[in-house]
Amino acid sequence: MTVTLLRAALFLAGLVFIIIGGSFLVDPAAMGGSFGLVPRGAQGLSSLRGDFFAYFVVAGACLLIGAWKRRGEFLLVAGAIFGLTFLARAYSLVVDGFYLGWVAPMGVEAVTVILIVVASRILPSGAFVEREE
């Protein structure tokens, strides 16, 4: 039962992140605005579209694959992405200062990393297992 709930949470999170990534592909200006970013011209739109689409789709796909195939090693990629994002945001708070609404994105990243760490310990992993051919 616990594994099923864990897999469902990972799958749902993966879908949400893929939808966010797709939204950056379709409407980067609107999505960038919701992240506090304003693109300057075609280069800015291209950067938002390319970078954020890739970030969220890769992270989301790793969560989906890890949950669907019960493979913990896929989760580690998303864990690294969100963990590094959390650390960079924490650094930014120290260097740049606090801003209104800083808790929400860091909370999402922290909860996602915790979920990933727990799941990667419970779901099997075959990444470092030698296979006989």
- What global pTM score does this model have? 0.87
Mean pLDDT (the chain) is 92
Nearest to 105 by CA among 22, 12, 14, 17: 17
Q: What is the pLDDT of residues 121-133, one digit of tens each?
A: 888 766 555 555 5
Q: What is the pLDDT of residues 56-73, one digit of tens each?
A: 999 999 999 999 998 888
- Residue 61 CA to residue 114 CA, distance in Å, equals 18
Residue ranges of domains in the chain: 2-122
Q: What is the pLDDT of residues 70-114, one digit of tens each?
A: 888 899 999 999 999 999 999 999 999 999 999 999 999 999 999
What is the signed CA dihedral for 79, 81, 85, 91, rounded to 10 degrees?
80
